[in-house]
Structures are given as C-alpha cells and as structure tokens.
C-alpha cells in the first residue's frame, strides 16, 4: 500500500495555509432554480447550488460512472466503501492503480486530462492537497456536512478537505510480552525487546515512520520545534539492537519477525484483526507522544463524471460513509460531530485505541526543519 510512502502533515500544520487556498463562501448557498438537466455540474460548488441533493443524485445516476485512483481495498475499508456506493446508487466505479501514491494521483490528473480515464476524485496526503490546489487541479465543492468539518481540516475554498486519519501507536505481540508489555517509547529500550521493534517504512520517505520519530521526540523531552530527541531515541534503540529494519505487515507479525510495530493506530488495529487467532496483537497510543495525520479528498477540476464525483464526496461525508471508514479502524474527520449527534457506530469506536485530550501540531516551519534533520541523520542511525 504505497499510500504509506507519503509524508503526512497534521491538521494544525496546515492551518496557516488555508487563507491562501481560496474564498470562504458557504456551502449553504441558495439552491438553483434550474433543472438538473441544465446544470453544469463541473462548476457546481454545493448540492444546493445545483438544485438540491436529489438533483445531484439524478445527474450522477445518469452519468452512471466514477473513476477513482490509488484506493487499496484493504486500506481504511475502501473496498466496502466502493462496493456500498455502487450498490446504493447503481454507479459503476473504475478503480485504477489501487496501490498508487499521492504523487501518482496528481500525475494522473495531468497525464489523463481531458480523457474518460482521468480520475474524478483523489485521496491524497496533506502536502499533495496543497500542491494540487496550487496547481489548480481541483474543483471547489462543499459537501452538505461542510460546517461540521473543522476549520483547520479544510481549504476555505472547498478545494480539499480532510477525510480520515489516525495517531502514531505502538502495537505488540501480547503473547510474547504478556507479563511485561510495553507501556511507552522508553520501555522499548529494555533488553527484552532486542530485535523486536519495527517501523512502517523509512522516516525519510514514509509518513508513518516519520511520525514515529516525531512521537518519540515528544516522549523524550522534545517538541515539534525539536525533533532531535526522537532521532537520538532511535539511535539508542538501534545501538541496543532492538530496532530491526523490517517493513511491517500482517505476514511479518504472524511469522514473528517483528514483535513490536510503531505505526498509525488504524493500521496496527487492522493488523490485530487480520492476525486474530494466530497472534494476540495489542495496540495503544502513548499518552505523552500524540502525533496525528489525516488524508484529504478533492474533486478533479476536469472530472469526466462531475456529478458522480460530487455524489461520491457526499457519500463519504455522510454517516454511512464515515462509519465505514471507522469500521476500517480509521478515525473519520466527522467522528466528534457524529459522537455528539449519536450517529457514530459505537461498536466500531470501541475498536480504536483510546486517546484522551487534544494533540498538538507542528507549524509548517517546524515540520520542514524536522524533515531536513531526519533526512540528514537517519542514514547514520539506521546503518
């Protein structure tokens, strides 16, 4: 799943950029009196502006098709999201390059521009959402739940909006460490974890691994303006022989190659479900090391199926769509609002590792500095 190979950014990291991403027009625009047949859905910025949700559904069904890209079926439950949308609306979805990266998604918007194969929608990392908006690759659109999406989780213009994400977590084999399980980053330095601890990729290129370094910094007296303690921590972990450069996956967990994995909580939780009955995999988010990251949705400015693209976004931000992400162990952006409204599936919520309080986030300058330090120091740490 190459979506892992995208350096993530947090909600707060992007807040300073939002004002530059467009106007702040509301999604509650007055409805159009025109009929669905006469609406140019390529330029419609909300369902109400196109004549209402029913008009959008009718137009999307008439198109009957939707192109998506880089959506692995096993990633955050996208397989069920796709199948449920098709079943609900009778719209056929063509899913291209499911293991592609965010960079490849933006490239497809350019290489397939003007063709029937161009992606109608994309799901990209935050930095690529900003880049796509800067290159005018996206069509502004505000879903009906727009006002429930936090201000710092969307472009004011409607060019993009966060959808799902998670926190850095520690997953471990409880069968191996049942009597003395890990409780923090510090505990992983103990001799019993020799050759046991893995990351989800390389911190110089993988968002989860980079997040692990930042989380380790927070746990060791650092801050978002000082990631050095996180690098020092992993240097100590490697020197102790506890860190192993093995790519995490259910297969290596089941084989016993790794017994501890530092990763996004939604991936560690998914691993627990996958290896259930074979490995007793437990997951927790360290209370002193909260680092969160989210992905973003956007509609192609040249979507060949513009109404279906907008209906897809409406579905993703409906309680049904948000709960399906939740079922895939990802934290949907509307989860707090849904919990307040009583529409979140409580059985799915219980599957998530517990997180209390509000996390803090790096500024763009802090994030850039951290990435530079990781890029320069990690090769010497990992060997």
Helix pair 53-63, 78-89: axis angle to 10 deg: 100
Element (DSSP H or E) covering residue 58: helix 53-63
The domains of the chain, with CATH numbers, are 2-165+293-349 (3.40.190.10), 167-291+358-382 (3.40.190.10)
> Please, is 262 exposed, middle or buried when counting C-beta atoms within 10 Å of its C-beta (0-12, 13-18, 19+)?
buried
**pLDDT value for 205:** 77
Dmax (CA) for the chain in angstroms is: 71
pTM (whole model) above 0.85: no
Q: How many CB atoms lie within 10 A of CB 32?
A: 17
**pLDDT value for 27:** 39
**pLDDT value for 2:** 54
**Average pLDDT score, the chain:** 89
Sequential pLDDT tens for the chain (383 residues): 455 454 444 444 444 444 444 433 333 333 333 455 689 999 999 999 999 999 999 999 999 999 999 999 988 999 999 999 999 999 999 999 998 888 899 999 999 999 999 999 999 988 788 889 999 999 999 999 999 998 888 999 999 999 999 999 999 999 999 788 999 999 999 999 999 999 988 888 778 889 999 999 999 999 999 999 999 999 999 999 999 999 888 999 999 999 999 999 998 999 999 999 999 999 999 999 999 888 999 999 999 999 999 999 999 999 999 999 999 999 999 998 999 999 999 999 998 888 876 545 677 688 889 989 999 999 998 76
Q: Which of 81, 56, 55, 51 is nearest to 68 (CA)?
A: 81
Q: Which of 251, 277, 281, 254 is nearest to 265 (CA)?
A: 281
Taking the C-alpha atoms of residue 248 and residue 263, their distance in angstroms, rounded to an integer, is: 9
Q: Which of 225, 359, 209 is nearest to 288 (CA)?
A: 359
Taking the C-alpha atoms of residue 244 and residue 254, their distance in angstroms, rounded to an integer, is: 16
Half-sphere exposure of 135 (CA within 13 A, CB side): 14
Beta strands in 36-101 (DSSP E): 65-69, 92-96
Cα radius of gyration rounded to whole Å, the chain: 21
Name the β-bridge partners of 284.
170
DSSP 203: T
**pLDDT value for 347:** 96
Taking the C-alpha atoms of residue 159 and residue 20, their distance in angstroms, rounded to an integer, is: 11
């Amino acid at each position: 799943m190459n979506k892992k190979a995208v350096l993530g950014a947090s909600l707060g990291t992007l807040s300073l950029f939002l004002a530059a991403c467009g106007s702040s027009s509301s999604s509650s625009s007055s409805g159009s009196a025109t009929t669905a047949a006469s609406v140019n859905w390529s330029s419609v910025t909300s369902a109400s502006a196109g004549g209402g949700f029913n008009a959008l559904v009718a137009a999307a069904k008439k198109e009957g098709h939707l192109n998506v890209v880089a959506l692995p079926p096993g990633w955050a439950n996208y397989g069920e999201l796709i199948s449920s949308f098709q079943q609900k609306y009778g719209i056929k979805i063509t899913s291209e390059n499911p293991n592609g990266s965010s960079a490849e998604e933006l490239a497809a918007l350019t290489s397939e521009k003007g063709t029937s194969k161009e992606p109608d929608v994309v799901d990209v990392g935050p930095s690529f959402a900003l880049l796509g908006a800067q290159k005018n690759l996206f069509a502004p659109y505000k879903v009906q739940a727009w006002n429930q999406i936090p201000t710092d989780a969307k472009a004011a213009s409607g060019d993009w909006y966060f959808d799902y994400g998670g926190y850095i977590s520690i997953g471990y084999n409880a069968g191996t460490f049942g009597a003395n399980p890990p409780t923090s980053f510090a505990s992983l330095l103990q001799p019993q974890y020799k050759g046991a601890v893995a990351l989800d990729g390389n911190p110089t290129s993988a968002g989860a691994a980079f997040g692990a370094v930042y989380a380790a910094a927070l746990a060791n007296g650092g801050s978002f303006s000082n990631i050095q303690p996180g690098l020092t921590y992993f240097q100590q972990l490697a020197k102790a022989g506890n860190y192993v450069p093995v790519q995490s996956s259910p297969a290596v967990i089941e084989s016993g190659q790794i017994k501890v994995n530092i990763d996004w909580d939604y991936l560690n939780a998914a691993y627990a479900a996958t290896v259930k009955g074979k490995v007793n995999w437990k997951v927790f988010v360290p209370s002193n090391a909260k680092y969160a990251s989210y992905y973003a949705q956007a509609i192609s400015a040249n979507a060949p199926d513009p109404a279906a693209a907008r209906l897809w976004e409406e579905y993703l931000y409906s309680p049904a769509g948000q709960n399906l992400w939740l079922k895939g162990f990802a934290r949907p952006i509307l989860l707090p609002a849904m919990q307040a409204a009583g529409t979140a599936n409580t059985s799915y919520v219980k599957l998530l590792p517990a997180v209390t309080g509000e996390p803090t986030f790096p500024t763009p300058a802090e994030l850039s500095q951290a990435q530079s330090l990781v890029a320069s120091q990690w090769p010497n740490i990992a060997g």
